[in-house]
Amino acid sequence: MTDIEAVIFSEAEIAAAIHRMAAAIARDYLGKTVVLLGVLKGALFVTADLARALESVSADVVVQLDFLAVSSYGNAHRSSGEVRLVQDTSHSIEGKHVLIVEDIVDNGLTLKYLMNLLSGRAPASLRAAVLLDKPYNRRVEVPVAYIGLTCPDEFVVGYGLDYQERYRTLPYVAKLRSEIFTPIGETVAT
């Protein structure tokens, strides 16, 4: 793909990270039911692959899936800092072991918002799993129990991550060529 400057994490590296996370989660939730709460749209692939990996590494963990959606990026490649709930969970999480599944944690604002929102709903436990940890611009500290990979301080796309709703379906994580970015506040002619 001509828009890609470099592949940051290959399909194999992502699969290995997902498997490592699943093994750690299986150990911690042995004999329990865990709700994987995927954050849409970015964590769709991470959540699906993590659920399948959990099923394959342990028959002693029951996996349930639910999703919610938040917005904080808009069309910019930097977070606006304002997080809002766009779609809530389908089921109550009261008394359940909940694992928020995120594609990436960058400034920490989205995950902090979700932890605060969901902790008020009385889950039995509440933790987070992220495929990519990008700690360089963290504005708030957030506890992340399971981290797949540490992302370089680059804007990345693929495996659920997008730029203006493009590149989500790439099977790897990549850096875009800098000339692809539209300056914040401008729109791309289509």
CATH architecture of 12-153: 3-Layer(aba) Sandwich (3.40)
pLDDT at 76 over 90: no
What pLDDT was estimated at residue 178?
84
- Provide the 10 A C-beta neighbour count for residue 48: 16
Q: In this structure, are strands 125-133 and 146-150 parallel, antiparallel, or unpaired?
A: parallel
- For the stretch 86-126, pLDDT in tens is 888 999 999 999 999 999 999 999 999 999 999 999 999 99
Q: Which sequence positions are flagged as catalytic?
A: 106
Closest C-alpha to 50, from 98, 87, 13, 18: 18
Between 33-47, 48-62, 99-113, 174-188, the lowest mean confidence (pLDDT) is in 174-188
What pLDDT was estimated at residue 189?
39
When pLDDT is averaged across residues 23-30 and rounded to a whole number, the result is 96
